[in-house]
Amino acid sequence: MVARCSRDSWDEAAGVAAQAQAIRDRAVVLAHTDGKVWEDALAALGNAQAQDASDARRDFALEQKLERAAAAPLEIAELGADVAALAALAGERGEGTYRADASAAAALAAGAARAAAHLVQVNLGVRAGDERLARASASEQVADDAAARLLGPTR
């Protein structure tokens, strides 16, 4: 919205608005995927707990489901970082009237990145030292830094 309203004063505005639209389209699909893979993982965990004996095939299937349940929030965290970066750019270079809206968008995106990074962290399939933790945490940091450029430090 900030970019769309800045077309007269900022020659990159239309390109930034197009990127925001593309990210929004991706986010809709990801949010749906995230809910689905989480439900699948939860059901698989329930089944595993209901059965006493260890079963290699079942354990493997559970592991796969947990993997997928970690992949979706990781992508959401990266998307949050991209949204925050885009919002920061729009806030800094777009029409000044809308800077507060850009700040709000950056803060929300940083919050989403933080929440998604936390979901990666608590996933049972993700262990300490896992590269996904580092990626999620880096995305959270990028989003935080972008929001801080407009709002000042948030933490």
Partner 1 sequence: MSQLSTLPDAELVQRCRAGESDAWNELVERYSRYVYAIAVRGFRLSEEDAEDVFQDVFTRAFMRLETLRDGSALKPWLAQLTRRRCLDAISGSGREQSVEEVMGDEGSADMEEVEEAFAVREAVAGLSEACQDILDRFFAQDQSYRTISEELDIPSGTIASRIARCLKKLRDELEGRNEAAEGSGE
CB of 72 to partner 1, least distance (A): 13
78 lies in the binding site for partner 1 (CB under 8 A): yes
Q: For residues 94 and 7, what is the distance between their CA atoms, to the nearest angstrom?
A: 8
Of the candidates 101, 85, 96, which has an alpha carbon nearest to the alpha carbon of residue 149? 85
Segment interacting with partner 1, rule: CB under 8 A, options 61-69, 75-83, 99-107, 112-120: 75-83
DSSP state of 4: G
Least CB distance to partner 1 at residue 48 (A): 32
* Piece in contact with partner 1 (CB under 8 A), picked from 8-16, 34-42, 48-56, 99-107: 8-16
- Sites for partner 1 among residues 20-59 (CB under 8 A): 22, 26
Residue 4 found at the interface with partner 1 (CB under 8 A): no
Residue 149: partners with Cβ closer than 8 Å, 6 or more residues away: 88, 91, 92, 106
Q: What Å distances lie between residue 62 and 45, 56, 105, 116, CA to CA?
A: 7, 10, 36, 21
Amino acid symbol at 89: L
CA 81 to chain centre: 7
Stretch that binds partner 1, among 42-50, 57-65, 78-86, 113-121 (CB under 8 A): 78-86
Alpha-carbon gap, residue 150 to 22, rounded angstroms = 23
User: Does 102 contact partner 1 by CB under 8 A?
Assistant: no
Contact status: 14 vs partner 1 (CB under 8 A): yes
The region of 39-47, 56-64, 83-91, 122-130 touching partner 1 under the rule CB under 8 A is 83-91
Place of tokens 């000044």: 96
Q: Which residues bind partner 1 (CB under 8 A)?
A: 11-16, 18-19, 22, 26, 75, 78-79, 81-82, 85-86, 89, 135, 138-139, 142
